[in-house]
Structure 1
Amino acid sequence: MLKLTKDNYFSLEASRQYMSVSQFKGFVPAYGGCEAASVAKLSGEWVEPKKDAFEEGKYIHAWNEGTLAEFRANNPDMISSQGPTKGQLKANFKHCNRMIEVLENDPLVMKVLAGQKEVILTANLFGIAWKIMIDSYQPESGHFGVITDLKAMKEMDGKWWNKEAQAYENFIEHYGYKIQMAIYAEIERLAKGRKPEQWALPHMAIITKEKSPDHELLFFDFEVIAQQLQIVSKYIERVKLVKSGVETPVRCEKCEYCLQDKKLQRIRHYSEMNLY
């Protein structure tokens, strides 16, 4: 197996050899995933377009890791190249600095975000190798340690429509963050060789991108970890079969990958066009 480092963690080869939370969700329609797009990414056939929101998240994470100056130097596209703001940070990254100020000025946030940074752990779970990268890790805190994931969100109190459930849900449900925290807790436990259910306590530190950034700290209890691991077990066999090429991936016909060459198979009745 590939020995993971910060340089190769997000590489194509690492994704081929290891399962990750984002890759798992990418295969599962219930979490907005598309099997066909996921397989195309792993084969190198398709590269997902870069999004500003992703780069802004990396900016915040570089601050947490203590490598913000290096990150700026390695990403000159964050600097305006024309007009009166030439040579300055672009507006969205300036706002990231405001978000960082909010986090830095809250002692409880800084306490939870303390510890080791960008810690890579691997373990075998559900019969396959997984990888995780913990934003902030305090293995000596509490009973079995504390792990914290830092998230930059558009807003805290929005609602997202779940088409399968035909109901609105909050961002925790919509983005599958309970799944993420459960997997992180279980991989950390396995990597450290502790007994079942001896989990480090997962936290999320959330900062919003609003004009006046909001922020919260959340923790996830052991009951939700056990529950979410059961949900992963429900989907993982299908994911393994599709990723390994045993089963043919299903197209969602909704994502950017599928829309590139979508071909209609039938004429639909108008009533099939749901409002949501």
Structure 2
Amino acid sequence: MELNKSNYFSLEADRHYMSNSQFKSFLPSYGGCEAQAMAKINGEYERPYNISFEVGHYVHAWNEGTLEEFKANNPNLYASTGKNAGQLKKDFQHANKMIEILENDPLVLKALAGQKEVIMTAELFGIPWKVMLDSYQPDTGMFADLKTSKEMGGKFWNTEIGVYENFIYHYGYTIQMAIYAEVEKRVTGRKEWLLPHMVVVTKQDPPDHEIIYFDYDVIEQSLHIVGKHIERVKAVKSGNVEPARCEKCDYCRLTKKINRIKHFSELSLY
């Protein structure tokens, strides 16, 4: 399947290719659920609209240089009733503040320079993968991914290993950067990875922002994590193994059927 910007996020593409987000959607450690992941791939479930994702798309459109086109094609960005009818909704007015923060930082603009929204595909772990690099600068030895985040502080409890971790580990951004670096390396045939960077801007008022880079050690460690889980993911996606239900996500709650009555004391176990 030949990928382009119009079909990159299509169901057909998701069925043919593995991606960073799809891989993590199978893993409970990253908030994933096998049953939900398969329901999405099969076109049986679509997550409800989330304005936070739309804010991310808005900021990405600015980075790509297509913000005006994005606004023209998405009338839902504007209030349709009340005294603010015809104006951008509050969330997107704030997104403009986030963009202004980025535009006024020379180092951010340097990190986000280069080719935009570059699509690449390669075989990893025996299956085809797809990636889209927000900003690609092979001549300077780097690529960058643009993230919008609620905040950069705080700590998150990892139930699998019993430790607190930062938002980078919690959302699996190390996994994403490693997959992107490995795919790019295989496509170009280069001997070493490009250095992944992440430009983060928060939704706080005023927004905070940061440029974060990832070293070769974390790329190796993260690819090892992918390798540890990929055979299970491949087996479930191919239909050879029944997907497990997490019984906690939106999809599992929506499709839940009670098969036994629980004693009240069991509720303390989850």
Do they superpose with TM above 0.5? Answer: yes
2:232 match: 238
Q: Distance in 1 between matches of 2:76 and 2:54?
A: 10
1:156 aligns with 2:152: yes
Structure 1 residue 263, shift from structure 2 partner: 2.5
- Cα shift readout 1:77-96 (whole Å, capped 9, x = no counterpart): 00111111111100100000
> Residue type matched to 2:232 in 1?
R
Name the amino acid aligned to 1:177. Y
Structure 1 residues not aligned, in runs of 5+: none
**SS, match of residue 236 in structure 1:** helix
Residue in structure 1 matched with residue 196 of structure 2 by the alignment = 202
Task: State the identity as a percent.
Answer: 61
1:109 partner amino acid: V
Cα-to-partner distance string for 1:249-274 (whole Å, 9 max, x where unaligned) = 00000011110121334415526525
In structure 2, runs of 5+ residues without a counterpart are: none
**1:1-276 equivalences in 2 (<5 Å):** 2-141=1-140, 145-195=141-191, 198-266=192-260, 267-268=262-263, 270=265, 273=268
Counterparts of 1:127 and 1:269, CA distance in 2: 46
* CA distance in structure 2 between the aligned counterparts of 1:167 and 1:262, rounded to whole angstroms: 31
**Distance in 1, Cα, partners of 2:162 & 2:266:** 16
CA RMSD of aligned residues (A): 1.2
SS of the counterpart of 1:16? Answer: helix
Q: CA deviation at 1:102?
A: 0.3
- Give the paired residue count: 269
SS of match in other structure, 2:129: strand
The amino acid across from 1:238 in the alignment is R
The letter of the residue matching 2:84 is T
Q: What's the TM-score once normalised by structure 1's chain length?
A: 0.95
Cα distance change on mapping 1:268 and 1:166 into 2, 3 Å: farther
1:169 is displaced (CA, Å) by: 1.8
Q: In the aligned structure 1, how far is the partner of 2:75 from the partner of 2:245?
A: 37
Q: Deviations over 1:61-108 (max 9, x none)?
A: 000000000000000000111111111100100000000000000000
- How much does 1:131 deviate? 0.2
Structure 2 CA distance for partners of 1:180 and 1:248, relative to 1, 3 Å: same
| TM-score between the two structures when normalised by the length of structure 2 | 0.97
In 1, Cα distance between equivalents of 2:95 and 2:137: 25
C-alpha separation between the residues in 2 aligned to 1:226 and 1:168?
22
